Amino acid sequence: MHKISKVQQFKVATVNLLNYASPPYSYYQLDENYNAEQWQTKNRWLKKQLSRISADVIAFQEVFSFDALAKLTSSLGYQYISKVDEASMAKNCEFTYITPVVAIASKYPITQAQTVFPDNTLLKHLGLPENFSFSRKPIKALIEFPNFGFVRVYVLHLKSKRATNLNDFVDKKVPNYDSYSEALTDTIGRFVSQEQRGLEGMLVFYDALHEQATHPLPSIILGDFNDELHTSALSVIFDHTDVNPKTDHLNFSDAFDISSNIHKTEKPFTLFYEGEGKVLDYILVSNEFNPTNKNTNITDLTYHSLDKHIQLTPLDKHKTNSDHAFIYIQFSVNYS
């Protein structure tokens, strides 16, 4: 007698919250904060969007007030939430946050959550600084999905394109000090930020690649990459357009590229800056999620973007929503 096959669907999302800092705390600058009404409006809007997505697992970026987020997600049925770092405060002001963290919320048990530690042996071998640290510590979590098993999830928020300030390095004796300092930051400072972003992406990918080679599991890398993967330096690491049968089982694909609901359309932008659309947020999946893989029990995968708010809201009016689209995947699992 043949067993009757059943299907279960899951959703996984990534959400950049844009300065999620509860009053009376500020973010980055003392005068950048929410009043009570704005904070209530932001949370009401966020709750509505998360309810619309109804994901099983959500990766969050730009989290300052973790406890407030935990309370909100709990009210939506997310019993589990983790972080691996604390949001940091300005040294001269105990009410101003300067560095956010990433977080992960799940309706299913998070059996393990740790940060990705830079591999010092690799850094030394490549002649790179062994004291490297991430601008925002990524999460590596293990989540048990019912009727599917364990999934390894990486949540990241790579270094932004904002130039690294080099004012503390500039020789103040240089003529026209101000213009020299600005020129240095606009050039060398931008390069330093790009290098940091590239190293962060490389180290996360190295960890994921090593895990797949030694302890293979269905795996997802998702979050705000702060760059376009297919055109930036990050493409060397993450953009695998060349097919190599020997490494297929180790590869990660942009979920958009293997989704069944996309028919040669352009990928939706996830952020608009100065009128120009960009894709900065990604969900990358291991080969176990590819429905064309004959060894997987995933029968379908679709890609979705919740982006009306970034299309209709002026850039300077995103305070009570977000300046990023919320993207998610839905996949179907066959089980007996």
DSSP for 65-128 reads: -HHHHHHHHHHTT--EEE-SS-PEEETTEEEEEEE-EEEEEESS-EEEEEEPPP-HHHHHHTT-
Sole residue written with tokens 């394109």: 161
Question: Is residue 175 assigned to a domain?
Answer: no
Sole residue written with tokens 């009757």: 4
Question: Is residue 172 assigned to a domain?
Answer: no
Question: Is residue 322 assigned to a domain?
Answer: yes
Question: Is residue 164 assigned to a domain?
Answer: no
Question: Is residue 1 assigned to a domain?
Answer: no
Residue 230 carries which side chain, given as an amino acid letter? Answer: H
Buried b or exposed e, range 87-110, using 16+ CB within 10 angstroms: bebeeeeeebbebbbbbbbbbbeb
User: Can you say whether the dihedral through the CA atoms of 186, 198, 153, 303 is positive or negative?
Assistant: positive
From residue 119, how far is each of 126, 132, 169, 223, 285 by CA, in Å? 11, 9, 28, 21, 22
Instruction: Show pLDDT as tens, one digit a residue, over the chain (336 residues).
Output: 556 779 999 999 999 999 999 999 999 999 999 999 999 999 999 999 999 999 999 999 999 999 999 999 999 999 999 999 999 999 888 899 999 999 999 999 999 999 999 999 999 999 988 889 999 999 999 999 999 999 999 999 999 877 777 666 666 666 665 677 677 777 877 787 888 898 999 999 999 999 999 999 999 999 999 998 877 778 877 776 666 677 777 889 999 999 998 766 789 999 998 888 999 999 999 999 999 998 899 999 999 999 999 988 776 688 999 999 999 999 999 998
Question: Is residue 173 assigned to a domain?
Answer: no
Structural domains in the chain (count)? 1
How far is 233 from 225, CA to CA, in rounded Å? 12
Question: Is residue 168 assigned to a domain?
Answer: no
Question: Is residue 22 assigned to a domain?
Answer: yes
How far is 299 from 322, CA to CA, in rounded Å? 33
Domain that holds residue 148: 6-159+187-335
Residue 43 carries which side chain, given as an amino acid letter? Answer: N
Residue 127 carries which side chain, given as an amino acid letter? Answer: G
